[in-house]
């Protein structure tokens, strides 16, 4: 197989683009590096296209290796025909190769292998090859009766032959394809509540599957979240899942395919064999395949939604230059309070007990007010977990009663407890107990969400559904790809970055990241990107991959605070020289350079300074806004100073809200009360939308109208229509 050509056709790219991407990947280049700095070679492929190429390359490489192994195995058995070889070589899916290999795969003991060992294979072939048989079939069967082989009667002989034929049908690749395609497109999914006896094994788990107690849906119409819910219900013994289909028509299709005839002397016998083969051998196997296919499809969809939400969360704009107080709310163990400065440095922490059972509101108010005034706190970040809204009410009251100029915001605290007990947290705050670290994380998530959230396993950040039900290996890879993409998209200030953040920079790993930290601790801040080569483990290749993403804000060369790669510095200096701009004034060069290039022409300028047009375009963008943080373009979070309750809400009321999570059926929106409201997919737009992600992203600030309120269940319905 010509892998680059196959990939190019599958994803509608030129073969040259795919070849270039594969070449760069095999040279050890990272996807963020290729996307940003090798646009000339790939003709502008973006990260998503590059990751698709990488995934398909891995799959097709495994496919080719499997083909080789299968061909070798069949050839060693002396059964490899030219026709079979051609089919295997031209297969484009692993499933096709496995289906073709099935008849030749070494088998454990089966009814068919036992019958073959008794010498009944010739009888099976006689039945298949003689549809026009005329005569006494019982005489034929009598030839195979052999007490020494434990074939005592003609019925024993016939049953053995039928078992062999049943397995031959089951092993036929075309038959399996027919059954698989039929079930994937024409069956229905049924779910039923299991018996009380079976449920008892999971009695400690609340039954949340009432909607699926008697559920039926066409397989083509089932939604990914329904598949994952059914799988979980089945796993927890609440549900029994089955496939419904029209069996008689399917059996007829199998019979026509395998026997390739309309009629036979053995017609009734063969019909029974087909039924047995399907029921006993084919269906259980293909049903597992179909269920696995549905699960895999649902996993990919759920993980893609999770990844999209994670990306938006990581790219939330930082609230920089502020003194922030972080509060990790709680009842019995109290609420943990921490104050950080504008660089994220921990200043002071306390524990307050304003909520039951202690209810020490007076002392809690006193401590909070003292900390706010002592450190001139600008913003208070409140975790959205237990006692969150009670803490919000307390903070709003303090702000109002004391006419304070600060504001507060509810922050997603998912993963804060995971961070607080992690080795990273212990290394950062060895003198603090684990319970006193989560509040610092909550505050820092507001200061710089990306820098803080990279310290936490992405699965623990809580912006998806069913993240514990999907393929964990694929989930981890996908989320790591998102974090890597975000870190390199934003860039990293090498002199303030943590080891956790540096780990995700293009070409870096944990060991190299720690070496960067050690270098800073022993030699002081980096003054130039050239210094990176002095870090242990950094050679020319690693420098090439990481240098453009590591920024130095007050270094010797102002270009070090841009995404312009050091390999292009010579070209930039030539460009500045043509514009009569000294290097030290590069921060003011954006407009003059743009004017020069417009007059000279992009193509002519690129040739003049010896670079490609895409690279020149990127250089111009960076000279216009050196040191730019792309997150600045994202919507700013809503800061509040007062509080709403469910009782304050009225149907028809319009509010601003922050999208906290996007799922298949809609989005959850924080409108400033204890419970996030549900914006159902049908209420997102006046037009039909297939997926909420077409319109919404985590962190979006949107206008919503309240359509329903259920105070007892804590449910709020929202709409964006009109």
CATH code, 575: 1.10.150.310
Q: How long a stretch of residues is the chain?
A: 722
Please indicate, yes or no, whether residues 598 and 538 belong to a single structural domain of this protein. Answer: yes
| Residue of 609 and 656 predicted with greater confidence | 609
Q: Residue 382 is encoded by which pair of tokens?
A: 């409140």
CATH number, residue 60: 1.10.10.650
pLDDT given at position 640: 82
Its domain, for residue 44, covers 3-104
Strands 346-352 and 492-493: unpaired
The verdict on residue 25 lying in a domain is: yes
Beta bridge partners of 710: 715
Does residue 197 register a pLDDT over 70? no
Same domain flag for 259 and 294: yes
Using an 8 Å Cβ cutoff, are 194 and 237 in contact?
Answer: yes
Same domain, 352 and 409: yes
Backbone CA torsion sign across 324, 329, 335, 336: negative
> Does 557 lie in the same domain as 431?
no
The CATH number given to whatever domain includes residue 201 is 1.10.3500.10
Residue 457 pLDDT grade (very low, low, confident, very high; cuts 50, 70, 90)? confident
Mark whether 121 and 253 lie in a shared domain. yes
* Among 57, 78, 104, residue at a domain's last position: 104
User: Is residue 394 in a domain?
Assistant: yes
Task: Report how far apart, in Å, the C-alpha atoms of 279 and of each of 163, 207, 273 are.
Answer: 13, 32, 10
Average pLDDT over residues 82-104: 96
The domain that holds 372 is classified in CATH as: 3.30.420.140
Biggest CA pair distance of the chain: 107
Q: Please tell me the predicted confidence (pLDDT) of residue 385.
A: 85
Tokens of 302: 């759920």
pLDDT band (50, 70, 90) for residue 214: very high
- Residues 140, 260: one domain? yes
Are residues 182 and 278 both part of a single domain? yes
207 and 284 part of one domain? yes
Instruction: Give residue 200's pLDDT band: very low, low, confident or very high (50, 70, 90).
Output: very low
Which residue, among 305, 458, 330, has the nearest Cα to 384 in the 3D structure?
330
Where does the pLDDT of residue 1 fall: very low under 50, low under 70, confident under 90, or very high at 90 and above? confident
358-381 average pLDDT score: 97
Residue 512 lies in a domain: no
Look at residue 86 and tell me if it is in a domain.
yes
First to last CA, the chain: 54
Under 8 Å CB-to-CB from 252, ≥6 apart: which residues?
none
Average pLDDT over residues 404-409: 94
Spell 213-242 as b/e; 16+ CB within 10 A means b. Answer: eebeeebeebebbbbbbbbbbbebbbbebe
Q: Are residues 11 and 99 in the same domain?
A: yes
For residue 206, the model assigns a pLDDT of 54
In a domain, 468, yes or no: no
Q: Residue 317: inside a domain, yes or no?
A: no
Determine, yes or no, domain membership for 435: yes
Is position 329 within any domain?
Answer: yes
Backbone angles phi, psi at 340, to 5 degrees: -120, 155
Burial label, 431 (beta-carbon count in 10 A; 0-12, 13-18, 19+): exposed
End residue of a domain, out of 84, 104, 124: 104
Residues 6+ apart with CB under 8 A from 197: none
pLDDT for the residue 107? 84
Residue 665 sits in a domain of what CATH number?
Answer: 2.40.50.140
The number of folded domains in the chain is 5
Predicted pLDDT at 203: 46
Tell me what the mean pLDDT of segment 47-56 comes to.
97
To the nearest 10 degrees (0 to 180), the angle between helices 590-600 and 613-624 is: 150
Which residues have a Cβ under 8 Å from the Cβ of 582 and sit 6 or more positions away?
Answer: 576
The pair phi, psi for residue 404, each rounded to 5°, is -80, 150
Compute the mean pLDDT over every residue in the chain, rounded to the nearest whole number: 93
In terms of domains, do 295 and 179 share one?
A: yes
Of 419, 447, 475, which residue sits at a domain end? 447
Same domain, 160 and 217: yes
pTM of the model as a whole: 0.86
**Six-digit token pair at 220?**
């083509």
Provide the strand spans (E) within 275-372. Answer: 324-328, 335-340, 346-352
- Residue 302: closest CA among 665, 630, 46: 665
Residue 99 and residue 115 share a domain: no
């Amino acid at each position: 197989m010509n892998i680059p050509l196959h990939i190019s056709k599958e994803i509608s790219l030129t073969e040259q683009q795919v070849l270039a991407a594969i070449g760069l990947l095999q040279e050890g280049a990272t996807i963020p590096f290729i996307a940003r700095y090798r646009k000339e070679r790939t003709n502008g492929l973006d990260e998503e296209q590059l990751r698709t190429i990488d995934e398909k390359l891995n799959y097709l490489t495994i496919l080719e290796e499997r083909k080789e192994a299968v061909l070798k195995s069949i050839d060693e058995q002396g059964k490899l025909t030219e026709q079979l070889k051609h089919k295997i070589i031209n297969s484009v899916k692993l499933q096709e190769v496995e289906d073709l290999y099935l008849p030749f795969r070494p088998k454990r003991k089966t009814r068919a292998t036992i019958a073959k060992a008794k010498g009944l294979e010739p009888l099976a072939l006689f039945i298949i090859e003689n549809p026009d048989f005329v005569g006494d079939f019982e005489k034929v069967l009598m030839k195979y009766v052999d007490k020494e082989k434990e074939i005592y009667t003609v019925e024993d002989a016939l049953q053995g032959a039928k078992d062999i034929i049943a397995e031959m049908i089951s092993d036929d690749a075309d038959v399996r394809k027919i059954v698989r395609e039929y079930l994937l497109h024409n069956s229905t999914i049924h779910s039923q509540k299991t018996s009380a006896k079976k449920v008892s094994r999971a009695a400690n788990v609340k039954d949340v599957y009432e909607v699926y107690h008697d559920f039926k849906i066409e397989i083509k119409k089932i939604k990914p979240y329904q598949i994952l819910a059914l799988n979980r219900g089945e796993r927890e013994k609440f549900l029994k899942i089955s496939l419904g289909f029209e069996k008689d028509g399917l059996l007829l299709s199998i019979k026509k395919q395998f026997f390739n005839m309309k009629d036979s002397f053995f017609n009734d016998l063969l019909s029974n064999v087909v039924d047995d083969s399907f029921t006993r051998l084919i269906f259980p196997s293909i049903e597992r395949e179909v269920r696995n296919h549905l699960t895999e499809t649902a996993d990919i969809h759920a993980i893609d939604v999770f990844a999209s939400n994670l990306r938006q969360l990581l790219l939330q704009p930082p609230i920089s230059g502020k003194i922030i107080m972080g509060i990790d709310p709680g009842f019995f163990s109290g609420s943990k309070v921490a104050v950080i400065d504008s660089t994220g440095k921990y200043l002071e922490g306390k524990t307050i007990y304003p909520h039951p059972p202690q209810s020490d509101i007076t002392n809690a108010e006193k401590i909070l007010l003292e900390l706010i005034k002592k450190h001139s706190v600008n913003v208070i970040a409140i975790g959205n977990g237990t006692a969150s809204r009670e803490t919000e009410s307390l903070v709003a009251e303090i702000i109002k009663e004391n006419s304070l100029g600060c504001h507060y915001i509810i922050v997603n605290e998912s993963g804060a407890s995971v961070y607080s007990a992690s080795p990273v947290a212990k290394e950062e705050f060895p003198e603090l107990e684990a319970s006193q670290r989560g509040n610092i994380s909550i505050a820092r998530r507001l200061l710089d969400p990306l820098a803080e959230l990279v310290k936490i396993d992405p699965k623990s950040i809580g912006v998806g559904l069913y993240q514990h039900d999907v393929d964990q290996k694929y989930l981890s890879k996908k989320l790591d790809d998102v974090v890597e993409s975000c870190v390199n998209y934003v860039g990293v200030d090498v002199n303030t970055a943590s080891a956790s953040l540096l780990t995700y920079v293009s070409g870096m790993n944990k060991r190299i990241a720690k070496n960067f930290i050690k270098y800073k601790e022993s030699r002081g801040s980096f003054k130039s990107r050239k210094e990176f080569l002095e870090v242990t483990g950094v050679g020319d290749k690693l420098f090439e991959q990481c240098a453009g993403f590591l920024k130095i804000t007050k270094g010797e060369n102002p270009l070090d605070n841009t995404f312009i790669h050091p390999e292009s510095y010579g070209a930039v200096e030539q460009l500045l020289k043509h514009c009569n701009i000294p290097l030290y004034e590069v921060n003011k060069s954006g407009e003059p350079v743009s004017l020069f290039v417009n007059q000279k022409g992009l193509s002519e300028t690129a040739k003049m300074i010896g670079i490609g047009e895409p690279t020149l375009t990127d250089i111009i963008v960076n000279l216009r806004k050196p040191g730019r943080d792309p997150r600045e373009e994202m919507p700013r979070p809503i800061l509040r100073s007062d509080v709403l309750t469910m009782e304050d809400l009225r149907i028809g009321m319009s509010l601003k809200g922050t999208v906290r999570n996007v799922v298949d059926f809609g989005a959850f929106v924080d409108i400033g009360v204890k419970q996030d409201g549900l914006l159902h997919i049908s209420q997102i737009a006046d037009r039909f939308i297939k997926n909420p992600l077409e319109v919404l992203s985590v962190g979006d600030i949107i206008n919503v109208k309240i359509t329903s309120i259920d105070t007892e269940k804590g449910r709020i319905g929202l709409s964006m229509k009109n």
